[in-house]
Amino acid sequence: MPRHTSEADPMRRRDPRWLLVFAANLLLLWLVALANHQLAPYHLSLYAGGLLVTFAALRLDPRRGFIATVLTALAADALAPVPFGTSLLLFVLVQAVLLSGRQRFPREEPVFATVVALLANLFLFLSLSFILIGRQPHPGEAWLRLFADLLASQLLLAVVTPWFMALQVRAHELARIHPETGRPVEPA
């Protein structure tokens, strides 16, 4: 008799949901980096950290969501000028908060996911800003630019979140895996 449920169900041993979410998050990191490159002459940058955590926290089970979040946070840490592990700590904190209350809300709704992504992004952006503001030679002067970056980032997330959530759901459909249960689904 198998000891764990993952041994009983062969699909559970090879559950790629975390990999699908991580791949989509890498795509988003790349797209945001491209946008930041184009916006650099205007002294504007975008941050989408809240969106990187949202799908894993709302739709995946805690274990696979944690794996996807940790890998995504490590990738974000590698790209950002922050002490390594900063994004990891903040992303895991956001995921833990979202996991604690996700059963009470309509997780599948795009509007709810957008609100969650915006709030998570606001928290992450402000946290990173307070951590990094001390590195500035004149910290008071940086707040206006940070406000412009936050405004642009939040506008981006308000527009992109429904698409990004649908992209991840579609990736799971193409893999024929239900995003929340990990069980195989038949193509429609």
> Mean pLDDT of residues grouped by 10 in the chain (188 residues)?
48 77 96 96 95 94 94 93 90 95 84 95 94 74 88 97 95 87 76
Using alpha carbons, select from 34, 74, 35, 84 the residue that is nearest to residue 52. 74
DSSP string, 58-115: HHS-HHHHHHHHHHHHHHHHHHSSS-TTHHHHHHHHHHHHHHHHGGGS-TT-HHHHHH
- The model's pTM is 0.87
At 13 the pLDDT is 59
On whether residue 168 sits in a domain, the answer given is yes
On whether residue 50 sits in a domain, the answer given is yes
∠ CA 30-35-41, nearest 5°, is 135
On whether residue 185 sits in a domain, the answer given is no
At 10 the pLDDT is 45
**CA pair distance 181, 108, nearest whole angstrom:** 13
Q: How many domains does the chain have?
A: 1
At 188 the pLDDT is 64
**CA pair distance 88, 94, nearest whole angstrom:** 10
On whether residue 121 sits in a domain, the answer given is yes
At 119 the pLDDT is 97
**CA pair distance 160, 158, nearest whole angstrom:** 6
At 147 the pLDDT is 94
At 162 the pLDDT is 96
On whether residue 65 sits in a domain, the answer given is yes
Any idea what the CATH number is for the domain that residue 125 is in? Answer: 1.10.1760
At 139 the pLDDT is 67
Q: What's the domain range around 93?
A: 16-174
**CA pair distance 176, 48, nearest whole angstrom:** 28
On whether residue 5 sits in a domain, the answer given is no
3-class DSSP assignment, residue 117: helix
On whether residue 118 sits in a domain, the answer given is yes
Using alpha carbons, select from 28, 65, 71, 23 the residue that is nearest to residue 163. 28
At 131 the pLDDT is 85
On whether residue 117 sits in a domain, the answer given is yes
